[in-house]
Amino acid sequence: MLKTTIAGSLPKPGWLAETNKLWPAWRAQGADLERAKRDATLLWLKEQEDAGLDIVTDGEQSRQHFVHGFLEFVEGIDFSRKVKMGIRNNRYDAMVPVVTGPLKLKGRVHQTEARILRQHSRKQIKITMPGPMTIVDTLADEHYGDKVKLAMAFAALLNQEARALEKDGVDVIQFDEPAFNVYMEDVKKWGIAALHRAIQGLRCKTCVHICYGYGIKANLDWKETLGSQWRQYEEIFPALAKSKVKQVSLECIHSKVPVDLLALLKGKEVLVGVIDVASDKVETPAEVADTIGRALKFVPKSKLFPCTNCGMAPMDREIAIAKLKALAAGAALARKRYR
Ligand code: ZN
């Protein structure tokens, strides 16, 4: 009951990459970099286990960014020619690569991380990948000429990697779709269909993470414009409830999402954000348990998974560790409180 997990990313140690950055430069190259990525993955696995989390991840230590970490393994994308593009409906500018030909995977994407987790942990393990809608919102296209066609092409590649991850022993595969909170009409028109393509044939658990973004300034400014109640979830949750995706990961603590919207996810397992990633203030176990208590009015105990609001990549390492502990301690307190 109340099994804990995180949305996905964790800060990179200073010897692996620049710290406190969303697009950090690596500190090493070639074989040294590969070794450093592996070491950082092991380190965060240990930290998650010691904190007492139930479902552990690779902390996304092997990717520079949650979207481009996948794209680097895809043929048909020109990374040498990055263009400036307003992403998430022009919330902020990013330098994005260009699709110039038919898409194809160059090989395995997350095999190394998945195997490290499986070899070194007896816990359930989770690997995250960007969702098709968020991918097409984070690059430029000169080949497909149609957003939906492009999304479906990426969904097929995601599915190819997801099936291989399942064979590696991965228990949960999560797709990150922050774009779902931005293009709500498109979610219903083709976003969920693209996710269905990505999870086709999988028997392991599948999850979609939909948040209001990392705790960076552009996101905080955007949140200020959303008014006193954030109701984006209300438009997409009924469609998600009918979807084949098993779990939905969402933002809850310190956000203006009305908690009763969780009732719209009837039948789904819900990863409720009880740790704020936009604040360095570490939650107390009581605060975490209170948030779980509020969500329990709308999500049954057997389907509620205490989680972080989003990834912790740009955060200080020590704060992230303290937040992992707060998450586990808060869930333990909630288990006692809400028997
Ligand atoms: Zn997120």
CA–centroid distance, residue 311 to ligand 1 (Å): 6
CA–centroid distance, residue 208 to ligand 1 (Å): 10
Predicted pLDDT at 221: 86
State whether the Cα torsion 147-150-155-156 is positive or negative: positive
Residues whose CB falls within 8 Å of the CB of residue 212, separated by 6 or more in sequence, listed in order:
178, 181, 219, 222, 223, 226, 230, 251, 255, 309, 310
CA distance 189 to 151: 12
CA–centroid distance, residue 213 to ligand 1 (Å): 5
CA distance 305 to 278: 20
CA distance 138 to 247: 24
CA–centroid distance, residue 312 to ligand 1 (Å): 9
Going residue by residue through the chain, which has 339 residues, state the pLDDT in tens, using 9 for 90 and above: 999 999 999 999 999 999 988 889 999 999 999 999 999 999 999 999 999 999 999 999 999 988 989 999 999 999 999 999 988 888 888 889 999 999 999 999 999 999 999 999 999 999 999 999 999 999 999 999 999 999 999 999 999 999 999 999 999 999 999 999 999 999 999 999 999 999 999 999 999 999 988 778 888 888 888 888 989 899 999 999 999 999 999 999 999 999 999 999 999 999 999 999 999 999 999 999 999 999 999 999 999 999 999 999 989 999 999 999 999 999 999 999 998
Question: Which tokens in the block code for residue 232?
Answer: 């984006």
CA–centroid distance, residue 163 to ligand 1 (Å): 23
**pTM value?**
0.96
Cross-strand pairs, 203: none
Closest listed residue to residue 151, CA positions, set 164, 127, 134: 134
Residue type, 10: L
CA–centroid distance, residue 98 to ligand 1 (Å): 24
CA–centroid distance, residue 31 to ligand 1 (Å): 30
Question: Which numeric CATH code is attached to 30-337?
Answer: 3.20.20.210
CA–centroid distance, residue 59 to ligand 1 (Å): 13
Residues whose CB falls within 8 Å of the CB of residue 96, separated by 6 or more in sequence, listed in order:
82, 83, 84, 85, 87, 138, 139, 140
User: Residue ranges of the domains in the chain?
Assistant: 30-337
